Amino acid sequence: MPDGPRPRAAEAPEPCVVPGCGADSVRHLALAEARKAFAALPEKGRRAPLCRDHYREWKKSTKAARTLDRLGWN
């Protein structure tokens, strides 16, 4: 069996960057991308970790041309 491309590090997930949220992140976006949906994000760093809920919200508001929404979640 092949080694996974991303071995799971023993690192705690970063908290969601959306102010007032702080849930464990499931995705990292470029901060500039995340700010398209969440204008209130602090301009700090380049990456924006998002929790599952906020990632979905981001996808909705950016209307990404993907229809994978319903395949991977729940």
> What residues line the site for Zn ion (CB under 5 A)?
16, 18, 21, 23, 51, 54
* DSSP 8-state symbol, 15: B
> What phi and psi, each to the nearest 5 degrees, are found at residue 63?
45, 50
Residues 6 or more apart in contact with residue 52 via CB below 8 angstroms: 23, 26, 73
State the nearest-atom distance from the C-beta of 49 to Zn ion, in Å: 9
Residue 30 Cβ, how far from Zn ion at the closest point, in Å? 17
Cβ at position 47, least distance to Zn ion in Å: 14
Measured from the CB atom, the residue of 38 and 66 that comes closer to Zn ion is 38
